[in-house]
């Protein structure tokens, strides 16, 4: 009888608990009885697919709604497809094209591509100007600039600039009027599925449903309304604590609190008291900040507002003798002073700065490379920063004969 009738009905018939029937059925590998209209249970094979592609695409393959798939992924705490970990294949593409172009191809944001490339120490792809053929120019405007740039192996900026120079308008999807048959499908299925069936964009279906005020299955993903008990917690603890307590995002809690005109639980800068203001000017701003539990910049701002001069520590002879024996930054850290204080004292005393131990003098073979190739290539060969190569070339008044065109 297991699996042929609902578990609760069998428990009443056999006089057993529901848990006993579920355990016995699971041990025997018998799936539970599913009535018509009840939700289909999730299998392990389906759970493995979550997060491997966009929710709409996976829902189409599994023949489920996008809403149910999104809820299942959130319940299992599986990150969105855009937040997926980087693969070795994707890492090999970094630097082969512009960050915007790769973001469009990989289905990621430009910020993610740029941060990943910098983390791996990969230099950005620099476009080298190429002659445009008549056949390539005819392709402009026939598709979106992203598709043409990928097909021709050019940057998105180069394709867009060439199209604008030739006066070719961008590729625009023409507006198609909505028919009564198309409108009748809105709300009965997820917007993503309706967009696929009608050959329209997801934004167009969203906009049409909102303009016609049609309620659909996608409304289940809308933010739930705030209750009075939840609103009573606003401002009584931090937004992060309230969010964890009621199961909401901190940004949603912060927005709701600001709409209600409630102040945050912890001020970034709490009001100054008269007792605290008496300490201003009696010691350095950093020492007073540590004593009062405030930031050094906050103490300095308040002291200047009240017109209180700072208390400067006088220089001793032993401290003055150390000036010029080591870099200013190291001496400032050693003496517990600011870098500006050490530099100002050194300039007033007429003492030349100490040699930077990290500075490497330029060799003759390195100087011969300046101007013969782009500064980035020279920097890569000599093992220096691109800015250092550029400054040295400008100092010697050498032109860059092979500058790259962007």
pLDDT score for 255: 87
16 plus 52 within the same structural domain: yes
Q: Write down which residue in 42, 67, 83 finishes a domain.
A: 83
Q: Would 88 be classed as within a structural domain?
A: no
Nearest-10 Cα torsion for 377, 379, 383, 384: -170
Q: Would 106 be classed as within a structural domain?
A: no
Q: Would 317 be classed as within a structural domain?
A: yes
Q: Write down which residue in 171, 198, 221 finishes a domain.
A: 221
Rounded to whole angstroms, the Cα distance separating 124 from 99 reads 8
pLDDT score for 269: 60
Q: Would 253 be classed as within a structural domain?
A: yes
Q: Would 371 be classed as within a structural domain?
A: yes
Q: Print the SS3 string covering the chain.
A: CECCECHHHHHHHHCCCHHHHHHHHHHCCCCCCCCCCCCCCCCHHHHHHCCCCCHHHHHHHHCCCHHHHHHHHHHCCCCCHHHCCCCHHHHHHCCCCCHHHHHHHHCCCHHHHHHHHHHCCCCCCCCCCCCCCHHHHHHCCCCCHHHHHHHHCCCHHHHHHHHHHCCCCCCCCCCCCCCHHHHHHECCECHHHHHHHHCCCHHHHHHHHHHCCCCCHHHHHCCCCCCHHHHHCECCECHHHHHHHHCCCHHHHHHHHHHCCCCCCCCCCCCCCHHHHCCCCCCCHHHHHHHHCCCHHHHHHHHHHCCCCCCCCCCCHHHHHCCCCCCHHHHHHHHCCCHHHHHHHHHHHCCCCCCCCCCCCCCHHHHHHCCCCCHHHHHHHHCCCHHHHHHHHHHCCCCCCCCCCC
pLDDT, tens digit only, all 406 positions of the chain = 888 888 888 888 888 888 888 888 888 878 777 665 566 778 888 888 888 778 888 888 887 888 888 888 888 888 887 777 888 888 888 888 888 888 877 878 888 888 888 888 888 877 677 788 888 888 888 888 877 887 887 878 888 888 888 888 888 766 678 888 888 888 877 777 788 788 787 778 888 887 888 877 666 555 678 888 999 999 888 888 888 888 888 888 888 988 888 877 765 567 888 898 898 988 888 888 888 888 888 888 889 989 998 887 788 889 888 998 888 888 988 888 888 888 888 898 888 888 777 778 888 999 988 888 888 888 888 888 888 888 898 888 888 776 654 3
Q: Would 23 be classed as within a structural domain?
A: yes
Structural domain for 211, as ranges: 180-221
Q: Would 159 be classed as within a structural domain?
A: no
Q: Would 14 be classed as within a structural domain?
A: yes
**Count of domains forming the chain:** 5
pLDDT score for 219: 62
344 plus 400 within the same structural domain: no
Rounded to whole angstroms, the Cα distance separating 303 from 292 reads 14
């Amino acid at each position: 009888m297991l699996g042929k009738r609902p578990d609760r009905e069998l428990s009443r018939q056999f006089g057993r608990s529901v848990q006993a029937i579920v355990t016995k059925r699971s041990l025997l590998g018998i799936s539970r009885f599913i009535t018509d209209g009840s939700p289909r249970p999730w299998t392990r094979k389906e759970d493995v697919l979550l997060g491997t592609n966009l929710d709409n695409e996976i829902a189409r393959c599994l023949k489920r709604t996008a809403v149910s798939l999104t809820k299942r992924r959130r319940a299992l705490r599986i990150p969105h497809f855009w937040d997926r970990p980087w693969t070795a294949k994707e890492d090999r593409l970094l630097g082969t094209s512009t960050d915007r172009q790769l973001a469009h191809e990989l289905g990621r944001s430009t910020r993610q591509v740029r941060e990943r490339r910098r983390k791996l120490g990969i230099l950005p792809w620099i476009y080298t100007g190429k002659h445009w053929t008549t056949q390539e120019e005819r392709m402009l405007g026939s598709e979106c600039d992203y598709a043409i740039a990928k097909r021709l192996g050019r940057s998105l900026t180069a394709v867009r600039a060439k199209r604008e120079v030739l006066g070719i308008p961008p590729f625009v999807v023409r507006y198609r009027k909505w028919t009564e048959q198309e409108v009748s499908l809105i709300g009965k299925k997820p917007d993503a599925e309706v967009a696929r069936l009608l050959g329209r964009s997801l934004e167009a279906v969203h906009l049409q449903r909102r303009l016609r005020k049609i309620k659909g299955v996608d409304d289940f993903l809308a933010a739930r309304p705030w209750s009075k008990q939840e609103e009573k917690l606003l401002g009584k603890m931090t937004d992060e604590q309230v969010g964890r307590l009621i199961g909401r995002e901190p940004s949603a809690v912060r927005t709701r609190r600001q709409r209600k005109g409630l102040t945050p639980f912890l001020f970034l800068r709490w009001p100054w008291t008269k007792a605290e203001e008496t300490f201003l000017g009696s010691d350095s701003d950093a020492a007073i900040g540590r004593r009062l539990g405030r930031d050094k910049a906050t103490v300095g701002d308040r002291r200047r507002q009240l017109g209180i001069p700072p208390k400067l520590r006088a220089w001793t002879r032993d401290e003055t003798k150390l000036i010029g024996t080591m870099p200013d930054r190291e001496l400032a850290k050693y003496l517990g002073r600011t870098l500006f204080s050490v530099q100002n004292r050194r300039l007033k005393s007429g003492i030349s700065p100490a040699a930077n131990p990290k500075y490497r003098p330029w060799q003759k073979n390195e100087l011969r490379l300046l101007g013969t190739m782009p500064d980035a290539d020279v920097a890569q060969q000599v093992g220096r920063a691109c800015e250092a190569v550029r400054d040295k070339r400008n100092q010697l008044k050498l032109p860059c004969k092979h500058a790259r065109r962007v």
